[in-house]
């Protein structure tokens, strides 16, 4: 069994279910529920105690029934807690994988178990489906850092340069962009667009740290914005040194939304799926994932025998999504995500340009031993 070691003084284990959440909805741990979902318990045994299971099981059962009734699918991001990710997620993965699923999935309803920009992306790609976000407050500090008007000003300042926009943005921002990217393909997209436009400089917004990490991986010059992920910006090179001191031999994997010196002191860097892929392929004895906390629980469940050091930085937005809010969203068909048609069509063009790039065999990683390139921050 994977052993999870907590690290850090303010580590709180995410508990997204309130006591009596099932009873408050008229749901109980009946014989029917036991028969239908008890066999799933093993999937979450490292996260949900046997005493807690009678609270989780009726909601899992209720959600499965509602999914069938509504012809709905749940797209679950890697940062969801294991009860959501492993028990009710129909498609699971990183931002790029979820966007690809949203574009092709056959269903009437998509429930986005992720944050608002992901739900908007699903709606942009699947306008005829009903897209639900279980909690409208599930935002993102990167998406909140920039508006479509800001992008117009950047374009006016740098005429003739292509705009590559991270998917962690609103539809308005995507609508002003030439192509989107995710942490899985950012370097690939930047190099593709520079070649297609015959330029040696591109605008890559809004994550300054992602842009710095991309700049260290390409000869293309980068102009960026001052957005930050409030979760990943908290990691520091000093944290990495402290983790290595406390856990000799630990392999350090970092997400490229972390500051560049964190990547430079890590052993490997990439998107959430690249990090999961690394653990699966290499089976390190002991590993730390410098990314959102729940991701370690999900990767640990799939890699028994690997020891995880858990730096508990939770994304408060992702953690607004729970079995309760997913159940309520499906029951009441709330909160429906809409994007006005003119914006949607323009934003879709930018996302389609990214989805048209060749799929890589495996998630791309970031070289971590490169000199930092100078870049312009608007």
**Given 22, 125, 142, 299, the residue binding ligand SF4 (CB under 6 A):** 142
- Choose from ligand 13P, ligand SF4, none: what does 272 bind? Cβ within 5-8 Å by kind: ligand 13P
Dist. CA 125–CA 63, nearest whole Å: 24
- Dig out the tokens for 92 from the structure: 């699971």
Half-sphere exposure of 92 (CA within 13 A, CB side): 17
Contact partner at residue 141 from ligand 13P, ligand SF4, none, CB < 5 to 8 Å by partner kind = ligand SF4
Report yes or no: 274 and 364 within 8 Å, Cβ to Cβ. Answer: yes
Q: How many residues bind ligand 13P, per CB under 6 A?
A: 12
Nearer to ligand 13P, 40 or 113 (CB): 113
Q: CA nearest 371: which of 260, 274, 268, 220?
A: 260
User: Is residue 318 involved in binding ligand SF4 (CB under 6 A)?
Assistant: yes
Element (H, E) at 163: strand 163-166
| Closer residue to ligand 13P in complex, CB, 57/318 | 318
Q: Is 313 in the site for ligand 13P (CB under 6 A)?
A: no
Residues 6+ apart with CB under 8 A from 84: 16, 74, 76, 113, 321, 322, 323, 326
Q: Which of 129, 204, 126, 196 is nearest to 168 (CA)?
A: 204
Give the per-residue contact string, 200-239, with ligand 13P (x = CB under 6 A; - = no).
-----------------------------x----------
Give CA separation, 5 vs 33, 35, 56, 83, in Å: 33, 33, 24, 20
Q: Which is nearer to ligand SF4, 229 or 347 (CB)?
A: 229
Compose the 238-277 pattern: x for residues touching ligand SF4 by CB under 6 A, - for all others.
Answer: -------------------x--------------------
Q: CB 41 → ligand 13P: shortest distance, Å?
A: 27
Candidate list 16, 81, 95, 296; residue touching ligand 13P; CB under 6 A: 95
Nearer to ligand 13P, 170 or 183 (CB): 183
Q: Which stretch binds ligand 13P (CB under 6 A): 29-37, 91-99, 204-212, 370-378?
A: 91-99
Shortest Å distance, C-beta 93 to ligand SF4: 14
Closest CB 271 distance from ligand 13P, rounded Å: 3
Q: Which member of 16, 145, 180, 183 binds ligand 13P (CB under 6 A)?
A: 183
Measured CA to CA, the distance from residue 86 to residue 255 in angstroms comes to: 22
Residue 84: burial class (beta carbons within 10 Å; 0-12, 13-18, 19+): buried
Q: Looking at beta carbons only, is 110 or 276 nearer to ligand 13P?
A: 276
Element (H, E) at 377: strand 376-377
317 makes contact with ligand SF4 (CB under 6 A): yes
The mark string for 16-55 relative to ligand 13P (x by CB under 6 A, - otherwise) is ----------------------------------------
- Alpha-carbon span 48 to 15, nearest angstrom: 9
Near ligand 13P by CB under 6 A, which window of 94-102, 153-161, 173-181, 319-327? 94-102
Virtual CA dihedral for 72, 77, 82, 83, nearest 10 degrees? -20
Pairing of strands 268-270, 365-366: antiparallel
Residues that bind ligand 13P (CB under 6 A): 78, 94-96, 168, 182-184, 229, 257, 271-272
């Amino acid at each position: 069994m994977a052993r999870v070691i907590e690290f850090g003084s303010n580590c709180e284990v995410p508990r997204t279910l309130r006591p009596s959440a099932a009873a408050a909805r008229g749901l109980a741990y009946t014989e029917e529920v036991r028969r239908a979902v008890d066999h799933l318990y093993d999937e979450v045994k490292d996260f949900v105690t046997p005493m807690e299971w009678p609270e989780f099981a009726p909601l899992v059962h209720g959600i499965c029934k509602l999914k069938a009734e509504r012809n709905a699918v749940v797209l679950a991001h890697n940062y969801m807690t294991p009860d959501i990710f492993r028990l009710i997620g129909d498609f699971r993965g990183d931002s790029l994988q979820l966007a690809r699923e949203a574009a092709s999935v056959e269903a009437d309803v998509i429930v986005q178990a992720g944050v608002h920009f992901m739900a908007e992306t699903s709606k942009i790609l699947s306008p005829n489906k009903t897209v639900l976000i279980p909690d409208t407050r599930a935002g993102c500090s990167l998406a909140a850092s920039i508006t479509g008007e800001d992008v117009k000003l950047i374009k006016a300042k740098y005429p003739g340069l292509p705009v590559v926009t991270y998917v962690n943005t609103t539809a308005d921002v995507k609508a002003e962009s030439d192509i989107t990217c995710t942490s899985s393909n950012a370097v690939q997209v930047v190099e593709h667009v520079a070649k297609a436009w015959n330029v040696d400089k591109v605008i890559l917004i809004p994550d300054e740290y992602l842009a710095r990490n991309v700049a260290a991986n390409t000869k293309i010059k980068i102009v960026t914005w001052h957005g930050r992920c409030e979760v990943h910006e908290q990691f520091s090179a000093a944290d990495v040194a402290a983790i290595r001191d406390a856990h000799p031999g630990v392999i350090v994997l970092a997400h490229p939304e972390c500051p560049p010196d964190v990547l430079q002191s890590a052993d490997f860097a990439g998107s959430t799926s690249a990090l999961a892929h690394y653990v699966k392929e290499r089976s390190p004895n002991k590993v730390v994932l410098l990314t959102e906390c729940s991701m370690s629980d999900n990767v640990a469940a799939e890699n028994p025998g690997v020891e995880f050091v858990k730096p508990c930085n939770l994304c408060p937005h992702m953690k607004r999504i729970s079995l309760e809010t997913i159940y309520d969203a499906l029951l009441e068909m709330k909160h429906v995500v809409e994007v006005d048609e003119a914006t949607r069509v323009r934003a879709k063009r930018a996302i389609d340009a990214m989805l048209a790039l060749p799929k890589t065999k495996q998630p791309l990683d970031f070289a971590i031993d490169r000199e930092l390139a100078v870049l312009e921050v608007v």
